[in-house]
Amino acid sequence: MSSAVTSLRETFSTPSARLGIAVMLFGILLFSLNDVMGKWLVATYSVGQVLLIRSAAALIILIPFIWSAGAITLFRVERPKLQALRVAFSTAEVFCFYAAVVYLPLADVMTYWLAAPIYVAALSPFLLGERVGWRRWTAITIGFIGVLVALQPSAATLTLPALISILGSLAFAFMMLSGRALRGTPDTTLVFWQMVGAGVAGIVIAPFTWVQPTGFDLGLIALLGVVAMAAHVCVNRSLKLADAATVTPFQYTLLFWAVLFGWLVFGDVPRPAMLLGAAIIVAAGLFIFFRGRKVAKLEGRDPG
């Protein structure tokens, strides 16, 4: 116990680590604000037009970074088919998220999304050839139990929005898996094609469900893309300032913000079963993460 406390003190005593944690926390707060704005906007406007305007704004913000990196690098990508598959998963993930929060509390949707690392751990032996020992398989099983506790499967709870949430979290997991296989691709390239994919989906869907936005709401939808880009930058920067084991656990503060903003903005009172399921999912996810890094170090691999 004393060694754990000592390790924790050492972590927070490093200026770079403290800054990394602060930047991660700010990035997660931005993601949470983005989710709140998205939920509020899709109550009035279609998911398609939110995707379209959000993606267009994000691409405009990306232009300076693309220009400095050289636009030609966007088209010289490794494993183009896998890149296209990742774009399809990322588009499905964001579409499902906005479609789900129209009907479900933010905390419920975020709980399902936080299960994605558990799906990744369960699928990585089959899709990436990674070895998963009995300890992580046990945590994976417990994590799935947490999903069932949060979902409370029954005729009343297995609604279309709940199923969309689960599909969206699975799409997010596959996006993460494909991202692991594309570690050599620059972040700018990954984000660019991700936004292009969501924008194309918006172009296809938006004309059928278009609602003319006010000038203020148009600015808010565009702000979604800007805030999301800023959040991605903060998370990526935090991982450069500090070790992943130091900052990654703070990503789970997404659930805290989802519960708080859901209550303050939308009047959503979290279900006890959802809170219990979320606690189980977070605990299982943290164990899988730290155990994976420990095994990687023991095997002499990059735990990144």
Over residues 164-173, the pLDDT tens digits come to: 999 999 998 8
Q: Please indicate, yes or no, if residue 6 is contained in any of the structural domains.
A: no
Residue 242: predicted pLDDT? 75
**Mean of pLDDT values over 125-134:** 83
How large is the average pLDDT for residues 242-255?
A: 81
| pLDDT tens for each residue of 270-301 | 889 889 999 999 999 888 888 877 877 776 65
The verdict on residue 50 lying in a domain is: yes
* pLDDT score of 94: 92
Q: Give the per-residue pLDDT at 203.
A: 93
Contact 258, 106 (CB under 8 A): yes
Give me 77's structure tokens: 């990508």
Query: How many folded domains does the chain comprise?
Result: 1
Identify the pLDDT of residue 97: 93
Q: How far is CA 71 from the centre of its chain?
A: 26
Dihedral in degrees, nearest 10, Cα atoms 133, 139, 144, 147: -150
Per-residue tokens: 178? 């494909």
- At 2, the pLDDT band (50, 70, 90 cuts) reads very low
Q: Tell whether the model's pLDDT for residue 72 goes beyond 70.
A: no
Q: Is residue 1 part of a domain?
A: no
**Cα of 45 vs its chain's centroid, Å:** 23
Return the pLDDT at 7. Answer: 46
What pLDDT does 166 receive?
92
State percent of the chain over pLDDT 90.
Answer: 29
Stretch 24-46: mean pLDDT = 91
In terms of average pLDDT, the best of 1-5, 71-75, 122-126, 166-170 is 166-170
pLDDT classification of 125: cutoffs 50, 70, 90: confident
User: Residue 302: pLDDT band by 50, 70, 90 thresholds?
Assistant: low
Query: What's the pLDDT at 121?
Result: 87
Determine the Cα angle at 114 with ends 108 and 118, to 5°. Answer: 130
CA–CA gap between residue 273 and residue 58 (Å, rounded): 37
Counts of helices then strands in the chain (DSSP H, E): 13, 0
3 within domain boundaries: no
Residue 5 has pLDDT above 50, yes or no: no
Instruction: Name the residue with higher pLDDT: 176 or 261.
Output: 261
**Average pLDDT, rounded, for the chain:** 84
Task: Show the 3-state SS of the chain.
Answer: CHHHHHHHHHHHHCHHHHHHHHHHHHHHHHHHHHHHHHHHHCCCCCHHHHHHHHHHHHHHHHHHHHHHHCHHHHCCCCCHHHHHHHHHHHHHHHHHHHHHHCCCCHHHHHHHHCCHHHHHHHHHHHHCCCCCCHHHHHHHHHHHHHHHHHHCCCCCCCCHHHHHHHHHHHHHHHHHHHHHHCCCCCHHHHHHHHHHHHHHHHHHHHHHCCCCCCHHHHHHHHHHHHHHHHHHHHHHHHHHHCCHHHHHHHHHHHHHHHHHHHHHHHCCCCCHHHHHHHHHHHHHHHHHHHHHHHHHHHCCCCCC
Share of residues in the chain with pLDDT > 70 (%): 89
Element (DSSP H or E) covering residue 220: helix 215-241
Query: What is the per-residue pLDDT for 1?
Result: 42
Report pLDDT for 71. Answer: 62
Residue 4 lies in a domain: no
Torsional class of 79: left (φ above 0), alpha (ψ -120 to 50), beta (otherwise):
left
Give, as one character, the DSSP assignment of residue 99. H
pLDDT at 80: 82
Does the pLDDT of residue 84 top 80, yes or no? yes
Specify if 129 maps to a domain: yes
Residue 125 lies in a domain: yes
Residue 153 confidence class, pLDDT cut points 50, 70, 90 = confident
- Given this model, what pLDDT does residue 117 score? 87
Q: Which domain holds residue 224?
A: 14-298
Is 7 a member of any domain?
Answer: no
Q: What is the pLDDT of residues 176-229, one digit of tens each?
A: 888 777 777 777 777 888 888 999 999 999 888 888 888 888 888 888 888 888
